[in-house]
Structure 1
């Protein structure tokens, strides 16, 4: 399966690029996977990202092949991750795979246990709140 087109907001793209570059020495395989996804993404101004697109802090319902059950997770930065609360880090294989996908898209990814799976986005129930105007202050 070829990789689907993905969209990432400029703010997330900049923050995630810095995060990945900072990990190149310590966790090169994770950093390189995230950088590859960021490199192929269409980068849009935050307010122009379609609402049904997975961005940081989006809550996503997805299914992987071989599983009849859908899962719901929120995509977060590593410091906010808590698997028991359904908050998964962008630095996990699923987190990186989800970034930038839209409802109905699917992507191949390699799970932590080495299996190649297909992840399909079913819904995005809580898109991130994007500022429509610059903050005053």
Structure 2
């Protein structure tokens, strides 16, 4: 499960709601219906879909992580920044950059804007936290509304 972290002094205000495109919502609901995954991740995806604001692809703000976005993240605890691309499970290769939306980290990122801090629980039970530093590519911002 992912939750936004509280703002630190001097940091940009954190978003209160996630935002999804209509197309991402439809595709993720279909994926959820077809693919039985680990129960906590399926539950987290259900909550994400039920609680997010949904907008047409052409109305999506360019600073929000959508499906197929390439995102630069910084570990809150320190360490190098990293670039990941949020993909559907069939395209995932977490060590090379493509990160499944059905992974804890992928679920944590989807729908949040640049500047947002997100957290999730790793498989070993430890908490991980990232700050979304930049969006290198977002399909909607590039005019790719049906990818």
* Aligned residue number for residue 10 of structure 2: none
Equivalent in 76, 80, 91 of residue 80 of structure 1? 91
For normalisation by structure 1, the TM-score amounts to: 0.85
**RMSD after superposition:** 2.0
Structure 2 counterparts to residues 9-88 of structure 1, below 5 A: 9-24=21-36, 26-88=37-99
Change (3 A) 1:117 1:43: same
Indicate conservation of the 8 Å contact 1:4/1:105, yes or no: no
Shift of 1:131: 4.4
1:8 aligns with 2:3: no
Q: CA offsets, 1:43-99, max 9 Å, x none?
A: 001111101110010000112222321111000000111224310100111100000
Equivalent in 94, 112, 122 of residue 105 of structure 2? 94
The count of residues paired between Structure 1 and Structure 2 equals: 132
Indicate conservation of the 8 Å contact 1:64/1:119, yes or no: yes
For normalisation by structure 2, the TM-score amounts to: 0.80
Shift of 1:39: 1.4
